[in-house]
Structure 1
Amino acid sequence: MTAPSPEADPEPAHETAGGSAPVGGPEQPALRRRRRRRVWVVGGVVGLLAATVTVLTLVFQFGLPWWSGPGDHDHVHVAADGTRQRYQVHLPPQHDGGTALPVMMAIHGCGMTGYGWNSMKGSTQFDALADRAGFIVVYPTQRMFADRINCWNSDDPRNQVRGSGEAALLAGVARDVVERYGADPERVHVSGASSGAGTAVILGATYPDVFATVTSVAGGEYGLNQVDPDDPDATPPSVTGRQAWAQMGEQARAVPLLIVQGGSDDVVPTVVGQRLVEHWRTVVDLVVDDALDGSPELVPDTIVHPATGDRYEYAQTTYRDPDGQVLIEYVYADDLAHAWSTPGAVGIFTDTAGPDATEIAWQFAQLHDDR
């Protein structure tokens, strides 16, 4: 018999250079602490970035506290379904709680806010005019993340009907202001820029009983999303005009419309503004007798305002019915780009050399104080 071989000695454990624990063994306390610190640092950086983004988003949307001035009040309209719509109201010195003042709602465009950064408030300078003329201004601001560049979604059919979407929210805001501040419900006007102009036109079609007049600056017709930019003639403005009239329903009336269009606008080309004139002529025609028969005849009259100093030349065309009432006004400046124009305007999409859209919008509203 052979003797049993002795058991082989186990291989020596591998050690680290510093004589630390074997590979696969428990970590050193110092290593664990370093890893925990790394997790804390990464978590802190992520948290700081998230907080910074949140703060910047809030500043973009709502501004900083010291941006508000005398007479400014922030509110939230809550719809029946719980949807919240933020807005700011500017009260002029003439507001005494007893006098029913008129209202101008001003709706911002894409890349803008109502009263935060690059705001409709700064772009239009309505507050200064309101303080002189004695009317209330309302600045709704698009809900955060409702659109990736803060547009109003006027091209979405869900927002083009009464009792639904953004149109219902903004009509609710207007009613809130009338009730809260004792404003005159017969003199609530709406103006808008770009996508906000499209929304203003929608409000004229869906809530003609709420809004006395509509002003569109660099905007388009109701149902513009149906129009192919490469072949606009395939969808005549009479088609979308008939749809706008149908939306009015039992509240149908010839809502006066002011259009401001720039000839150098590369976002909303001139043809869009021209279509809006014909579109609204269709609405007026159908409101009168439910037929597209050219009645009432709207007689155009054009005044050309020559260039003065650093101000552009512009043409102002009014369309009057047989009673002399201005139902459509078209202001065109060849040198005006995609901008709201008024002296002292502050914002990216502004121009101080074009026709004073703020003053013209208010003058237009005053023509229709007795609807």
Structure 2
Amino acid sequence: MHISTSVLGGIAAICATANGALTRVNDFGTNPTNLQMNIYVPSKVAAKPAIILGLHYCGGSGEAYSSSTKYNSLADQKGFINIFPSTKKDNNCWEVNTVKGLSHDAGGDNQGLVAMINYTIKKYNADPTKVFVTGSSSGCMMTNVMIATYPEVFAAATCYSGVAAGCLAGSPGASPSSANPDCANGKVIKTQAQWVDQVKAMYPGYSGSYPRIMTYHGTADNVVFIPNLGEQLKEWSGIHGVSFTKNVTNTPQSGYTELVYGDGTKVLGVSAAGVGHTVPVHESEDLKWFGL
């Protein structure tokens, strides 16, 4: 009996999903920038599962970020679903610099990423109040953009070694190496009010709350320099209306310092002494921040 390759491929995809492998989703809805969706569904999915959107670094891919982090093994334990998308443009860097990419529903990468989330919520009866985003380097830059342009979609965010939403606005490329060097070099310094105005302008008319954010940066980062941590914290503490309260040293590990804003539940920075680009992903800390 002859079975077509397309049928075999379909069977393989079904088996892969059942066994909790990373699988491709080709038709998830609006996809203006031709992103690639990869999803990890554990064999035992929680009732109303949470979703984590994991965003790769420049030159990376969803598959690479999936395999280099522990989110999938944690999903196996806890039953949440991971989405690891890929962008194939601008050296595989996310669109964090254009007008459409820094706007709500304007045809940027961000719109395609939200379509992936909406597809997952519908297909797996996921909990729309438990959608989270994280990423490293360009993925951290995009994490900041996602919570600025689609704040209603996400409950919380974590990210590693990125820049404030809007820092790269108007730059010709989205890569730290090809985009506005002033931003990556930590020379785009704004007032808190300027950052808040920039975020608000990305989604005019939005009056709801914004996601909680915890963001890490290494003091020895010579690709995306450490002043970018302060600018992110300036931006999001302004959005949340919280002020710096204290440093907590050697947390979550030796050499790391937490920069606590307000009561520490909405905005948290982590400075990693002597760490370069990028700060290693701290998955268990992410899950604590997400409440998973």
Scaled by the length of structure 2, what TM-score is found?
0.81
Q: Distance in 2 between matches of 1:163 and 1:221?
A: 20
Q: Counterpart amino acid of 1:157? A: V
Q: CA deviation at 1:82?
A: 6.3
Deviations 1:121-157 (A, max 9, x none): 1222211122223311110011x3x22x211121222
Q: What is residue 150 of structure 1 aligned with on the other side?
A: 92
Question: Is this contact kept in 2: 1:254–1:327, CA < 8 A?
Answer: no
Distance change in 2, residues 1:105/1:246 (3 Å): same
Scaled by the length of structure 1, what TM-score is found?
0.64
Q: Distance in 2 between matches of 1:95 and 1:132?
A: 9
Q: What is residue 58 of structure 2 aligned with on the other side?
A: 110
Q: What is residue 204 of structure 1 aligned with on the other side?
A: 147
Question: Is this contact kept in 1: 2:69–2:283, CA < 8 A?
Answer: yes
Q: Distance in 1 between matches of 2:265 and 2:192?
A: 20
Distance change in 2, residues 1:181/1:256 (3 Å): same
Q: Distance in 2 between matches of 1:262 and 1:222?
A: 19
Q: CA deviation at 1:231?
A: 8.0
Specify which of 241, 246, 253 is matched with residue 196 of structure 2.
241
Specify which of 248, 252, 258 is matched with residue 208 of structure 2.
252
Q: What is residue 285 of structure 2 aligned with on the other side?
A: 360
Q: CA deviation at 1:113?
A: 0.4
Specify which of 89, 92, 101 is matched with residue 49 of structure 2.
101
Question: Is this contact kept in 1: 2:260–2:267, CA < 8 A?
Answer: yes
1:85 aligns with 2:38: no
Question: Is this contact kept in 2: 1:303–1:315, CA < 8 A?
Answer: yes
SS at match of 1:158: coil
Distance change in 2, residues 1:127/1:233 (3 Å): closer
Structure 2 segments unaligned to the other structure (5+ residues)? 1-12, 170-179
Q: What is residue 76 of structure 1 aligned with on the other side?
A: 26
1:3-14 aligned within 5 A: none
SS at match of 2:44: coil
Structure 1 segments unaligned to the other structure (5+ residues)? 1-64, 286-296, 343-356
Q: Counterpart amino acid of 1:162? A: H
1:334 aligns with 2:273: yes
Of 234-243 and 219-228, more deviation after overlay is shown by 234-243
Distance change in 2, residues 1:242/1:191 (3 Å): same
Q: Counterpart amino acid of 1:195? A: S
Q: Distance in 2 between matches of 1:198 and 1:139?
A: 16
Q: What is residue 173 of structure 2 aligned with on the other side?
A: none
Moved over 4 A (4+): 77-83
Question: Is this contact kept in 2: 1:77–1:86, CA < 8 A?
Answer: no
1:134 aligns with 2:82: no
Larger RCO, structure (CA 8 Å, separation 6 or more): 2
Q: What is residue 172 of structure 2 aligned with on the other side?
A: none
Q: CA deviation at 1:83?
A: 5.2
SS at match of 1:259: strand
Distance change in 2, residues 1:82/1:105 (3 Å): closer
Question: Is this contact kept in 2: 1:104–1:137, CA < 8 A?
Answer: yes
Q: Counterpart amino acid of 1:181? A: Y
Query: Computing the radius of gyration over CA atoms, which structure comes out larger, 1 or 2?
Result: 1
Distance change in 2, residues 1:127/1:231 (3 Å): closer
Q: What is residue 157 of structure 2 aligned with on the other side?
A: 214
Distance change in 2, residues 1:108/1:255 (3 Å): same
Identity across matched positions, percent: 21
Q: CA deviation at 1:191?
A: 0.5
Q: Distance in 1 between matches of 2:232 and 2:194?
A: 12
Question: Is this contact kept in 2: 1:245–1:252, CA < 8 A?
Answer: no
Q: What is residue 218 of structure 2 aligned with on the other side?
A: 262
Q: What is residue 53 of structure 1 aligned with on the other side?
A: none
Aligned residue pairs: how many? 262
Question: Is this contact kept in 1: 2:101–2:109, CA < 8 A?
Answer: yes
Question: Is this contact kept in 2: 1:242–1:283, CA < 8 A?
Answer: no
Q: CA deviation at 1:261?
A: 0.6
TM-align CA RMSD = 2.6
Q: What is residue 232 of structure 2 aligned with on the other side?
A: 276
Q: CA deviation at 1:331?
A: 1.2
SS at match of 2:269: strand
Question: Is this contact kept in 2: 1:77–1:176, CA < 8 A?
Answer: no
Q: Counterpart amino acid of 1:184? A: D
SS at match of 1:214: strand
Deviations 1:7-51 (A, max 9, x none): xxxxxxxxxxxxxxxxxxxxxxxxxxxxxxxxxxxxxxxxxxxxx
Distance change in 2, residues 1:340/1:71 (3 Å): farther
Distance change in 2, residues 1:325/1:305 (3 Å): closer
Question: Is this contact kept in 1: 2:148–2:200, CA < 8 A?
Answer: yes
Q: Counterpart amino acid of 2:69? A: T
